[in-house]
Amino acid sequence: MARPKLSITVDPDLLRVVDEYVDAHDGADRSKVIEQALELWTASQQDAAMEAQFRGADAPAHERIAWRSVRRSAAASQMAKR
């Protein structure tokens, strides 16, 4: 699948940090760094949406219990990867 190309404007200090990282790490490039940043942003947005959805008392108890199980399973999976 072709990867879309985009043009962005960023703070020069941020770009300098990215370029320093790329220079110091073989195989790294700006696109990979920015893609990783977008992946982290997407994950944080999903986390925030789930927290907001289940923060209120209007969520049924069985759903809160089920999500607690999912969170624990996901955390265990992440810890096993380390």
| pLDDT score at 57 | 57
Long-range contacts at 4-12 (CB < 8 A, ≥ 24 apart): 8/34
Let me know the angle formed at the C-alpha of 35 by 29 and 39, rounded to the nearest 5 degrees: 145
For the chain, the distance separating the N- and C-terminal CA atoms, rounded to the nearest angstrom, is 30
26-69 pLDDT, tens digit per residue, is 999 999 999 999 999 999 999 998 888 777 656 778 887 898 89
pLDDT at 5 over 80: yes
- CA-to-CA dists, residue 42 to 20, 45, 60, 72, angstroms: 24, 5, 26, 20
> Which pTM does this prediction carry?
0.60
**Residue of 31, 25, 28 lying closest to 10 (CA atoms):** 31
